[in-house]
Amino acid sequence: MTIAIIDFFRSFFGEDEKYIPLDAIALHSETTDAFKELAKEASIALISKAFSLAEFRTYQKGKEIKQKDYYLFNIEPNLNTPAASFWESVVRKLLERSECLILVQNGSLYLADDYTKHPYVFKANEYTGVCIDDYVLTDVWFEDKVLFLDYPSTVDADRRIAGMYSEFSKLINSSANGYLGSKVRKGKLKIPTNWMKTEQGQKDLNAYVNSQMADFMNPDVSSVLPLTSDMDYEELGSAGRSSSNGESSRETKNYVNDVFDFIAIAYGIPPSLLKGDVIDTKEAYSNFITFCLNPIAKLVQDEINRKMFGRNEYVGKSYLKIDTSNIKSKDLRDVANSIDLLMRNGAFTINDAIKAVGYEPISDDIGEKRFMTKNYDLVENFERGENIESGKADE
């Protein structure tokens, strides 16, 4: 912060430098852009990492199974990539580019880094110039042989972010520059009128400013300022400086927090979840899964079902379902009452309850049994019982 004062004296006493360089106290636009990029990166990382925790559940004729397709989607999409990394990369690319292409080749899945899409109306779209890990494929890939994910919501989010941030960055700049300006030490040096006006006198004065004043203004050096006869230095602007500094600093931080809030909302993330707040996290997680993750899961799920299973299998209850319910870690105390209610009404088997809390189901037949409390019965049985009681009364 001392450079502004030193440059002032240099310009006053005839040095070539005539202006205080703006980058001494100004916050560069690259710095404010970094706030936006940090918030976007945090949002994309949160969504993609959360999606990688989802389970791809496969069904055959209405019964859940764990066979080849389950292993493909949940364990090993291809020889070189585990499922968690693969799906995290898929969602990241989807959010960054609003679309992504997955090749289905020899029972494996490969995420394309680049491609050219040739869209058609009455025949299958074509994809050429497909590149995977710097390896360019010469084949033409048709729509029914690939998984193509299109997520226009990302384009809308980027447009909203750009429009908001173009104006909001000015507030951050103004606040930060005000804070930096308030930290600059300001003072006035009184020079006696009888100071030598010769060339040597000016050199001596410049040397004094550049050496003695520089050390005195340096906050990292303990020093004193020697003053010659009739020379006086007076510090300016010290009253109330610490208070205004604190207010300006908090104002800048609040503006940056607002940037995170706006960008989180654009991606459908509760702002408190993006910033790591611990208040109302239960409701925040619920909204995050419902309004942010589930739409992406539905997009991926539908594309897999229509391309890899097909209409006939889907209608015959052979399909894939992406389960996002296990993304949030569960406290047994929080779900115990709900599981009890589902089990005693016959909605859950024992294995359903075990899987709901993240444990492996049991292999015994009892694991698939359903239980019903005696407090519940069919309406027909209830009416039959009333008729029987009525008949006994007539007798």
Give domain status of residue 383, yes or no: yes
pLDDT higher than 60, residue 238: no
**pLDDT at residue 195 in the model:** 66
Give domain status of residue 310, yes or no: no
For tokens 């005000």, the residue is 178
Give domain status of residue 359, yes or no: yes
- Cβ(137)–Cβ(88) below 8 Å: no
- Picking from 250, 185, 177, 182, the residue whose alpha carbon sits closest to that of residue 31 is 177
Please compute the mean of the pLDDT values over residues 168-184 and round it to a whole number: 61
Please compute the mean of the pLDDT values over residues 190-213 and round it to a whole number: 71
Between residues 175 and 282, the one the model is more confident about: 282
DSSP 157-192: HHHHHHHHHHHHHHHHHHHHHHHHHHHS-EEEEE--
Q: What is the pLDDT of residues 12-54, one digit of tens each?
A: 344 443 333 434 334 444 555 777 888 899 999 999 999 999 9
For tokens 């003072």, the residue is 187
What's the domain range around 389? 330-395
Would you state the structure tokens that stand for residue 76, as one six-digit string? 């090993």
Q: What is the pLDDT of residues 50-84, one digit of tens each?
A: 999 999 999 999 999 999 999 999 999 999 999 99
Question: How far is the C-alpha of 72 from the C-alpha of 320, rounded, in Å?
Answer: 12
Give domain status of residue 369, yes or no: yes
Percentage of the chain exceeding pLDDT 90: 38
Give domain status of residue 352, yes or no: yes
Centroid of chain to Cα 87? 16
CA R_g for the chain: 35
Give domain status of residue 299, yes or no: no
Give domain status of residue 261, yes or no: no
> Which segment of 187-196, 221-230, 291-300, 310-319 scores lowest on mean pLDDT?
221-230
271-275, 339-343, 352-356 — most confident range: 271-275
Question: How far is the C-alpha of 22 from the C-alpha of 28, rounded, in Å?
Answer: 10
Centroid of chain to Cα 327? 16
Total domains present in the chain: 1
263: three-class secondary structure by DSSP: helix
Query: Pairing relation of β-strands 345-349 and 319-323?
Result: unpaired
Give domain status of residue 347, yes or no: yes
